[in-house]
Copies of this chain bind each other. A is one copy, B any other.
Amino acid sequence: MHIAQLKNLSTWVDVSDGSEFPVYHLPYGLAKMPDGSVAAVSRIGDLVINLHALAAMGFLPVDFDVNVFLKESLNDFIALPKALHLKVRKELMELLMGENPALKNADSAVKSRIFYPITSTQMLMPVQVGDYTDFYSSKEHATNVGIMFRGAENALMPNWLHMPIAYHGRSSSIVVSGTEIHRPWGQIVPSAGGNPIFSPSSQLDFELEVAFITRRGKPLGQPIKADEAEDFIFGLVLFNDWSARDIQKWEYQPLGPFLGKNFGSTISPWIVTLEALEPFRCHGPKAEKPLLPYLQTSGPKTFDIQLEVDLTTESGVSTTICRSNFKYLYWNISQQLAHHTVNGCNVNAGDMMASGTISGPEPGSFGSMLELAWKGTKPLVLADGSSRTFILDGDQVTIRGFCEKDGLKIGFGEASSKILPPIDY
């Protein structure tokens, strides 16, 4: 369908004009319902759709056990074949479109078991993340960090233009939007040098990222090729890779970031499917060096996703401190997954792979405080008149994302988290 048709898709459900969750969107999430039960859900406008109720009452014909919609995560649903996911999306969209009477004309008692105001539910962590990988795929970010720590001459490492650099991160501490995080303690070397001290981090940072969630992969030893990679990707979420720069700086040689990262990461609760993102497909930057064949892709392999970061101080005043875009990333998700598995590494349904900080070319598009305030040398002035070089206790950082083209708009919602003071140690 042409995008003009998609934006005009009508629905019998009451959706406000300009909603980022039109009938075309239909993301997936996991929600605690008003009765305390947990169910897989989708969303239209400001209504949550209970997929288990929908399927169990026969409104959504499915070729699998409807109990996959009643688990503590979406992993079992995500592990189903892609063809079944496509069918669920198609059936669900048709059910809600136009004046389709199948559900529209059902008793209000029936509909009240299917539709819930979003304010009456609590969005939960949608997947149990088996493995989490963090890429480093923004050339602007890698270059900025390189200039700050190694100088402009050696900003980009020699390997960077040859492969999507990545490292493994911690799955257990990935939390859903709304979860508060304590400022971490750790070993920090004072700026004057000398032995490390034990202290709460004073260089707490966010990182604006987007993560993809994988379908069931191949057995150990069998790579996923770049041209089939998208078939193994279920959808995308917003991702804040909280970082303690002072802890990270002291620990990361020679094996990479560890405690400077694994105290918490925040994701948005709605998984935006690749199918919904299709109209927003676009080209990424051109490769600056010849790529080995296993990393070569053709056609538009990334997506135009507008991203912004708000910082809200304890006084409640918000400032948008960054506007960036997913399409700035040098390496696309097909290249990332092909690289990750080229050695035979296996992936499972529900694994999460984040992009790395998404910085754009302009200073206002840098995706971390480290870059925005340029290592503390250019404090950011906020709307309430206060200034920041890093994140203070009580600050709330909110990442938002959406796609918009020719009048069709779909939202990612938000990944938002507040920093609490360090615990008493």
Residue of B nearest to A339 (CB): B259
The residue of chain B having its C-beta at the shortest distance from the C-beta of A289 within the complex is B195
CB-defined contacts of A259 to chain B, threshold 8 Å: 339-340, 342-343, 345
Q: Does A185 contact B (CB under 8 A)?
A: yes
- A196 on the interface (CB 8 Å rule)? yes
CB distance from A140 to the nearest CB of B (A): 16
Chain B contacts for A198, CB-based, 8 A: 292-294
In the bound complex, residues from chain B placing their C-beta under 8 Å from that of A244 are 343
Q: Are A172 and B292 in contact (CB under 8 A)?
A: no
Residue of chain B at shortest CB distance from A262? B345
The residues of B that contact A258 with a CB separation of less than 8 Å are 165-168
* Residue of A195, A196, A251, A344 most packed against chain B (CB within 10 A): A344
- Contact (Cβ within 8 A) A184 B256: no
The verdict on A247 contacting chain B, using a C-beta distance below 8 Å, is: yes
Q: How many residues of A contact B (CB 8 A)?
A: 63
- CB contacts under 8 Å to B, within A151-168, are 157, 159, 162-163, 165-168
Whether B220 pairs with A157 at a CB distance below 8 angstroms is no
Within 8 A of B (CB), among A261-293: 262-264, 290, 292-293
**Which residues of chain B are within 8 angstroms of A425 by Cβ–Cβ distance?**
223, 294
A262 to chain B: which residues have CB within 8 Å?
A: 168, 343, 345
A167-B168 contact in complex given A184-B343, A220-B173, A264-B344, C-beta closer than 8 Å: yes
Shortest Cβ distance from A254 into B: residue? B157
CB <8 Å contact, B264 and A220: yes
Q: Is A131's beta carbon under 8 Å from chain B?
A: yes
Q: Which one of B186, B220, B254 contacts A343 once the chains associate, using CB atoms below 8 Å?
A: B186
- Whether B165 lies near A131 (C-beta < 8 A) is no
How far is B339's CA from A142's CA once the two chains are assembled, in angstroms?
Answer: 28
Does A347 count as interface, using CB distance less than 8 angstroms?
A: yes
A186 to B389 Cα, complex, angstroms? 40
State whether the Cβ of A73 lies closer than 8 Å to any Cβ in chain B.
Answer: no
Interface membership of A175, Cβ < 8 A: yes
A245 → chain B closest CB, angstroms: 13
A247 with B187: in contact, given A131-B171, A258-B167 (CB under 8 Å)?
no
- Contact A172 B130, beta carbon cutoff 8 Å: yes
A188 to chain B, nearest CB (A): 11
Complex CA distance for A49 and B99, rounded to whole angstroms: 63
Q: Is the CB of A167 within 8 A of B292?
A: no
**Chain B residues with CB below 8 A from A166, complex form:** 255, 258
Output the least CB separation between A70 and chain B (Å): 19
Q: Decide if A136 is an interface residue (CB 8 Å cutoff).
A: yes
Q: Are B220 and A175 in contact (CB under 8 A)?
A: yes
CB atoms of B170 and A344 under 8 A apart: no
Chain B positions within 8 Å of A387 at CB level = none
Interface hits, A179-195 → B, CB 8 Å: 179, 181-182, 184-187, 195
Q: How far is the CA of A97 from the CA of B172 in the complex (A)?
A: 41
Listed by A's residue number, 24 A-B pairs whose Cβ atoms lie within 8 Å are: A131-B172, A136-B255, A159-B250, A163-B187, A166-B258, A168-B169, A168-B170, A168-B258, A168-B262, A172-B345, A179-B220, A181-B220, A184-B343, A184-B344, A185-B344, A197-B292, A221-B263, A223-B425, A244-B343, A252-B255, A252-B256, A259-B342, A264-B344, A294-B425
Task: Report, nearest first, the 7 A-B pairs whose CB atoms are least far apart.
Answer: A256-B256, A184-B343, A167-B255, A168-B168, A263-B343, A255-B256, A262-B345
